[in-house]
Structure 1
C-alpha cells in the first residue's frame, strides 16, 4: 500500500489576494463563494471564500487559510481584506490588525511598510485590478485577527517585524513539510544583520543559545540569529551576504556535531556526539575507562560530569577549535569562524581564540573567563 500523497495548501499571500478580490466583488454586488487568483508565476489558484459583504465605499471579505498537510501555525487562521474604492487608479496596500510592519532594514520590504512581501503584493494588485473599473483604484487593508499573538511564535520579532504576521509566499502554494522553505525562512535574519552594518554575526542553533549569547554574554541582540539545525546552509548564506566572521555559539550537543563535520544537526540526520567526544578525549590522553563511560552515556549532558571527573575539561576548547576549523573548511575559507560551547545554564565550557577575538569585537562581557 503506497503512502498517501501529501496535500498542498495556499500561502497567506494567496489568501490575502483572494480576500481582496472577493471584497471588490462584494462592492460590485457580485459576491462569490469561490474564486481564482493568479500566483506570481501565472498559475491559477482556486480559493474558497468564507464570507464577503459590501461596506460604505467598498467591501470586506475573509478567507480561511488552508495549509494542506503542512504544519503551519497559520493553518485555519482567518485572513481578511477591506477594500475602499478610490477615483485614482492604482492599488495601495496597508497593514491592518495582526499584520506586521517592517522596522529594520535588510528585508524585501522597506522600513515602515506593511510586512507584505513582493510576491503577495503582486498577487493582490493583480487580483484587485482585474475586477475594478479602469477609472478606479483601491486601498487594500489586510488583517489577521489572531496575527499579533501568532507572530510571537515566529522569527518576526527577531527580524524587526512588529505588530503581527508577515504576508508571504513566493509561489502562492504551500508545499507540505517543506524543509527547503523552512531553511529559506531563516536566511532573512542574515540580511537584516548585514543591513544594520555588521560584518561579524553570531549563529546560535536555538533560542536557548541565543538568549545566553545576549543576556549572559552581552553580545548585541541585533547580531545574534538562530540557525536551527541548518548550520551549513546558514554558513553558505553568510558568505553570500558578505559576512566576514561567524561566531558559532551553542550547547555542546549541537557544536560537537559540527566538530565532526556534521552541518545538518537534527538527530535523525546524523549524531556521533558521544563518539566525537570520546575520540577527542582519547586524543588528549584520557584513560580507557573514561572512553568507555562516555560511550555508555546517553546524552552530552550526562557526559559532562564524566569529563569533569577525569579532569579532561580542556577537551571542550579542542572541540571548539575543531568546530571552527570544520566550519571554515565547509565554506572553503570564505569565512573566519570562532566557536563557543555553553551549558544549558549559560556557563561557558570551552572556546577558541578566534571566538575571543570576534566576541571582543562585538563587545561581549566574557573577558578572560
Structure 2
C-alpha cells in the first residue's frame, strides 16, 4: 500500500502566520498556534515558535514545514516583523529583511525594486490582517526575513531571474503539496518572462550548465538563455504560449539527440535512447553493421562519436540529428514557433546545426569557434 504523502505550508503561509501571531500578541490573545485559511480554502494549523517585541516592531518566528516535498527551505526560520506606521494613506508596506531578495529585472510577478514577496503571500497577509483587525486598510509595515536565504539563493534560479540578495517568498495558495516535479517545472517558466521583458524575441534554451557554459563562450547573451533542465517540451510549450518567435536549442548531443528521437522529457531514467538514436542515424548514413554494434556498446555518447568519426560519418550524422531535433520540436508545437538546434561536445566542439540555428546565432552576433 502506497504511503500517503504529507502536505506542508509555504514560506508565504509561514509569513502570514507570523503576521497573525504578532497581531494576536499585541491584542493579548493566544498566538502559539495559528489557524490560517489558504487561498484555495484549505485550513492550515501552523505552530509559532516565538513572538517578541524588538526595536523594529513585533517579530514572530515560524519554522517552515514542507511535508514530504523535498523543499530546500524545509526547517528554516521565517521571521515576520509587524510595525504600525504613522501615515495618512492606509495600506500594507512590504519590506525585505535578511535573506529575502529584491527584484532587479522586469518580467516577474513583482515590479522591479520591490522585495521578492509574491502576490499569493501578500494576499494571505492582507487576509489575516483583515481577519484580526477587521480591515486590511491599515498603515502597517511587514518585513519578512529568512536569514538562511542568503545561502539558499545559490541553489535557486533567483540569480538568473534577477532576484538579488536572497530567496523569494513564494506560494500560490499557501499549501505546499508534495509535487516537487510539477513545482520545479513551474519554477523554470519565469526565466522566459524575464528574457522577454528584457526585449528578446528569440530565446536560447540550454538543458543544463554544459550548454550554458559553451553558449556563453560563443558570445551568446546570457540574458536570453533559459535553463530547461529535462523539461524541454514543457518549456517549449511555455515559450509558444508567450508568443516567442524562435528558440535556439543549444546543448550537448547526449541530451539533444533525444529530442531528435521525439523525446521531450529527457531524464535518463525515463528516456535514455541516445546510443540507439545515434546508431539508427549512423546506419541510415551507411555505418556497417559491425560498427553499429560497436556504437551500441559504447559507454557514453562521446565514445559513440568516436565510432562515427572513425567511419567518416560524424559530420553527416550530427547534422541530420540537429535538423531532425528542430523538425520534431516544431512538430511537437504544431508549428507555433521556429526552432533551431546546435549540438556540441563536452569540450564545446560544434557537431551539427541547422539553418534556423545559424540564423538565430548570427542575429545574436555569436562567435563560433574556428
* TM-score using structure 1 length: 0.95
Q: Could you tell me which residue of structure 1 aligns to residue 194 of structure 2?
A: 192
Q: What are the within-5 Å matches in structure 2 for residues 127-276 of structure 1?
A: 127-132=128-133, 136-214=138-216, 216-276=217-277
Gaps of 5+ in 2: none
1:57 shift after superposition? 7.1
Gaps of 5+ in 1: none
Q: What are the within-5 Å matches in structure 2 for residues 281-292 of structure 1?
A: 281-292=282-293
What is the Cα-based RMSD across aligned positions, in Å? 1.6
3-state SS of paired residue (1:247): strand
Separation in 2 of the partners of 1:45 and 1:137? 27
3-state SS of paired residue (1:98): coil
Separation in 2 of the partners of 1:109 and 1:141? 16
Q: Could you tell me which residue of structure 2 aligns to residue 60 of structure 1?
A: 59
Separation in 2 of the partners of 1:60 and 1:43? 26
More displaced, 126-135 or 202-211?
126-135
Cα deviation per residue 1:184-230 (whole Å; 9 max; x = unaligned)?
Answer: 1111111111111111000011122112211x111001001100111
The verdict on how the C-alpha distance between 1:54 and 1:212 changes in structure 2, with shifts beyond 3 A counting, is same
Cα deviation per residue 1:46-74 (whole Å; 9 max; x = unaligned)?
Answer: 10111111235731011111111111111
Separation in 2 of the partners of 1:133 and 1:320? 61
The verdict on how the C-alpha distance between 1:81 and 1:288 changes in structure 2, with shifts beyond 3 A counting, is same
Q: Could you tell me which residue of structure 2 aligns to residue 24 of structure 1?
A: 23
Cα deviation per residue 1:74-109 (whole Å; 9 max; x = unaligned)?
Answer: 111111111111245321111111101111111111
Q: Is the 8 A contact 2:21 2:60 kept in 1?
A: yes
Q: How many residues align?
A: 366
Q: What are the within-5 Å matches in structure 2 for residues 303-342 of structure 1?
A: 303-314=304-315, 315-342=317-344
Q: Could you tell me which residue of structure 1 aligns to residue 302 of structure 2?
A: 301
* TM-score using structure 2 length: 0.95
Separation in 1 of the partners of 2:345 and 2:56? 59
Q: Is the 8 A contact 1:202 1:223 kept in 2?
A: yes
